[in-house]
Chains A and B, each alone.
Chain A
Amino acid sequence: MKVNATINGMKRVLDVQPDEYLVDTLRRYNYLSVRRGCDTTSCGVCTILVDDQPVPSCAYLSVRADGKTITTVEGIPKHAEKLSEHFGETGADQCGFCNSGIALSVYALQKSGKGITDETLRHYLVGHLCRCTGYQAQHQAIKKYLGDSDE
């Protein structure tokens, strides 16, 4: 099946199977930042943005992407780079398998115009499991990043 989607600002025609999930399609088309951590939409690793909304791509059928705007972390390099500097500052980097998905949720939160408090941030990112960091350093880094970006 053919799916027309805009991926990271570029119009693409994707050839997909009817039962294929977007995580697999995107990896097949070399968007390798989109990775699979589970298959039950529990971990947040495979997060992408569909029309600016964070979505677990392991449960999003590729055919649904027709006419949609898809963003992977390759599409927001400046934001990801800036966020990585804050992760570096607070020591929030560990394995990084979840980092690209986190960067996209942070970007979505930034674009949503919602107020940034400890509580909204925690709730916005609760879907991103991390087994390495204990979360607090990530939380501090993201808060600083959002604060810096506001200024």
Chain B
Amino acid sequence: MSKSFKAVNVKTPSIDGKGIMMGRPAFTDDLALKDSLIIKVLRSPHAFAKIVSIDTKKAEELAGVEIVLTHKDFKRNAYTRAGQGYPEPSPHDKFPLDEYVRYVGDEVAAVAAVDEATALEALSLIEVEYEKLTPVLDFEQAKGHESIIHPEEDIYEMFPIGFDPKKNVAAAYSMEVGDVERTLKESDVVVEESFYTQAQAHVMLEPHTVNAHIDYQDRLVLYSATQTPFHVRRILSQTLEIPLSKIRVIKPRVGGGFGGKQAIHGEMLAAAITKRTGKPSKLTYTRKEVFESSCTRHPMRLDMKIGATKDGKITGIDCYGLSDTGAYGEHALTVFMVTGSKVLPLYNKVDSVRFHGDVVYTNTVSSGAFRGYGAIQGNYALESIVDMLAEKLGMDPMELRQKNMILENETSPIFEIMGEGTEGTAMNMDSCKLDYCVKRGMELIDYKNKYPKRKVSDHKVRSIGGAIAMQGSGIPYIDMGAAILKLNDDGFYNLMVGATEIGQGSDTILAQIAAEQLGVDVSKVIVYSSDTDLTPFDPGAYASSTTYVSGNAVLKAAKEMRSMVIAEAARSLEVDIERIEFDGEVFRVKGEDDKITLSDLSNRLYYNEDQKQLVATGSYYGTKSPPPFMAGFVEVEVDLETGEYDVLDYVSVVDCGTTINPELARGQVEGGIVQGLGMAVTEDVHYAKNGKLITSDMLNYKIPTNLTLKKLTTEFADSYEESGPYGAKSVGEIGIDTPPAAIANAIYNATGVRIKTLPVTSEKILKRLKDKEI
């Protein structure tokens, strides 16, 4: 299956790692103009309130304050911060500033001043009178609650998404294949259980950061730590009514995103302030603001029912979901749909399957995009209940999976029914090595000898848990990525992409794809990303799309560039194109000694004869979204006296097609695994009774450290996806999906206690163990 490559699928260090390590200016705040006004935001102390009056006079009079903005300063143009393609599948339910505040941390007013101390003092001088309203803090009570979080009339959905704000419903969805109730009734064995997932925080290490200035052509220029520069430009233009042509958004180096920077955060206020004052401004969220006032993963309750014949054929799956979108409806529908569409097809041989439910508003931190994007929630529920079903059937859980899971060349009706906000796209699994992933994963974890558990001391047990997962590769027929290649004198290339490097290594792997096609070393492809003026369009870094969608665009541009240089070489050597042989550096005439190097040819084209600039463009949108697959296995050691446990080893075997850059692909998987382990093990979220987030700093919200787990074992299946660039599928999200279920299954195997609410903490295990004793 594997093919032989020179630039892809070979060890290639990141093209930018050295400069970043050496501390060279690269990130948004490094590039802010020195005299930028400092923006600070007054945030709501109430979970739900109406601003009765707001007096900014004292703040405005403070020396050093440039401007104070409140909701009175903005035209009421509803928008969504989601940062998606247009029209968005998220409701337009947010205003730059509003007379209502809908969670503790919501924006009330913004100040721009000469320095931070002045801006903070000005905030304290703003006098706000609130009419406190009854907040909706429990998402299971939200639908039809007497308190309506979005009572305003001037908000709307862009197309039908089940938006019903008067009932606190941001979106709703329902689909059914077959008759699931009948199927379950006729099944020999049925298991039913509800699962809860928490509002995981992204905790990218660079906080949300933006700066703005007006350039010498009188255009508004923003540097932003964003995953979606083109969407940011469009949303700013539509909301602030600035012509699109007057805005430039530059994405410098970004310090991690994980979906958190898909949305617009500080850009709206920075753009408005610089536009009004004509002065440069900058806004960097404090870490508390990142936790309290950006977005989180959608918390969900998933009510699962699964049926099977007594010999272990899964007959039907029924999933009702209730998702909490918080104060605003960013990604409400699409995250919810992915909870079904990138989870349920794993068991494609069922007679019936149903997925339905609501996404409700609450007066808590807004939910948004986050790596895994619904799939991790669904995976936890499904892969937990599959283990429960196996126990009831008296079967090995991996054997049950192997018997029922999706295989190469198979399909699922769900692919055609469910897309992201719209209908889906039918597709066959042209590349699916899930069977290999499971088999190899079982070998690596030593399943045969270690499953389900072994006693290692009088109170310590080691156990194994597993789960399988799938994701997607971009959003077919919606998201288009583009690339431009330019030939320079001396024979090197510039690659300009809108694809958004945020630390995942996309600049490097896109350079590798171009280099492979052009036959040159990666160092001959100079990458620039992304800038709405200088690079072609790309939706941005989300939906596991960059390798597959943007990578295909780069491949197309590189193929065109290759034929262009060959045509110019033929002209220069005065032979037919068919007679040219080209290894990337030298053009030779077949059977003759005549030759010209690319360097000489490009110099000739620049300065001497047939002068011209060679530029090639490629753009691509997917017509399917080939899923990467993986099997994950964890070994834990549990102390039965305390409920504490150590994660000893996490085995991942991944089918992501060709790994364009094997080391960086491994980095994506391992980073995803550890982020998923955070959700599974350590990252507990707590709100106070008044709706204030308590876990709003890194002391109280505990992401994994280098002591959290002992060992990661990561391998890739030999797989080739014909539709992908050099056989590649995506790898950005797949790693995060399995840890919650794998951990819950391992803990059950060790203790007999099944934790159905994430995270799986020692306290929960111990409490359940004690309950069992009674």
Contacts and interface: CB of A to CB of B under 8 A. Distances in A.
Contacts of A27: 29
B698 A42 contact: yes
Contacts of A133: 667, 670-671, 674
B18 A122 contact: no
A48 to B, nearest CB: 11
Contacts of B14: 87-88, 93
Interface stretch (B54-62, B204-212, B476-484): B204-212
B667 A80 contact: no
Contacts of B670: 133-134, 136-137
A89 to B, nearest CB: 7
A51 interface: no
B671 A80 contact: no
B705 A96 contact: no
Contacts of A39: 286-288, 697
Contact of B29 (A35, A88, A89): A35
Contacts of B29: 27, 35
A60 interface: no
Contacts of A99: 17, 20-21
A59 interface: no
B287 A93 contact: no
Given A131-B203, A136-B712, A95 B255 contact: yes
Contacts of B256: 94-95, 97, 131-132
Interface stretch (B296-304, B391-399, B498-506): B498-506
Give the secondary structure class of B's interface: loop
Contact of A90 (B204, B661, B663, B706): B663
Given A38-B287, A126-B706, A85 B18 contact: yes
Contact of A38 (B22, B253, B698): B698
B335 interface: no
Contact of A95 (B23, B287, B502): B502
Given A40-B699, A83-B21, A126-B705, A96 B503 contact: yes
B221 interface: no
Interface string B12-39: 0110111011111111011000000000
A99 B20 CA distance: 7
B469 to A, nearest CB: 16
Interface in A66-107: 72-74, 77, 80-81, 83-85, 87-100, 103
A131 B287 CA distance: 14
A32 interface: yes
Contacts of B205: 37, 43, 45, 95, 97-98, 129-131
A77 B663 contact: no
A136 B711 contact: yes
A27 B207 CA distance: 16
B703 interface: yes
A131 B21 contact: no
Nearest to A98: B205
A33 B30 CA distance: 8
Interface string B207-242: 100000000000000000000000000000000000
A92 B664 CA distance: 8
Contacts of A100: 20-23
A145 to B, nearest CB: 11
Contact of B20 (A90, A96, A125): A96
Contacts of A90: 663
Interface string B708-722: 000110000000000
A42 B671 contact: no
A43 B698 contact: yes
A132 B664 contact: no
A94 B27 contact: no
B726 interface: no
A87 B664 CA distance: 11
A117 to B, nearest CB: 14
B21, B30, B671 interface centre (most CB from chain A within 10 Å): B21
B290 to A, nearest CB: 9
A71 to B, nearest CB: 11
Contacts of B202: 131
B23 A80 contact: yes
A40 B697 contact: yes
Contact of A93 (B258, B505, B697): B505
A35 B252 CA distance: 15
Interface in A123-143: 125-126, 128-139
A10 B25 CA distance: 20
A77 B674 CA distance: 30
Contact of B698 (A40, A73, A88, A138): A40
B17 A134 contact: no
Given A126-B705, A132-B671, A91 B255 contact: no
A44 to B, nearest CB: 9
Contacts of B663: 89-91, 137
B674 A40 contact: no
B206 A135 contact: no
A40 B288 CA distance: 10
B262 interface: no
A40 B703 contact: no
Contact of B287 (A40, A77, A81, A94): A40
A23 B173 CA distance: 48
Contact of B703 (A83, A91, A92, A129): A129
Nearest to B11: A89
26 contacts: A32-B30, A37-B205, A45-B205, A73-B22, A80-B23, A81-B18, A84-B20, A85-B18, A87-B13, A88-B13, A91-B662, A91-B666, A94-B256, A95-B206, A96-B20, A96-B253, A100-B21, A126-B705, A131-B258, A131-B675, A132-B671, A134-B667, A135-B705, A136-B670, A136-B711, A137-B667
Given A84-B18, A100-B23, A136-B670, 13 more contacts: A32-B25, A35-B29, A39-B286, A73-B21, A85-B18, A93-B17, A93-B667, A94-B504, A96-B503, A97-B204, A100-B21, A125-B706, A134-B674
Q: Rank and list the top 5 A-B pairs by shortest CB-CB distance, nearest first.
A: A33-B23, A91-B663, A95-B503, A88-B13, A97-B255
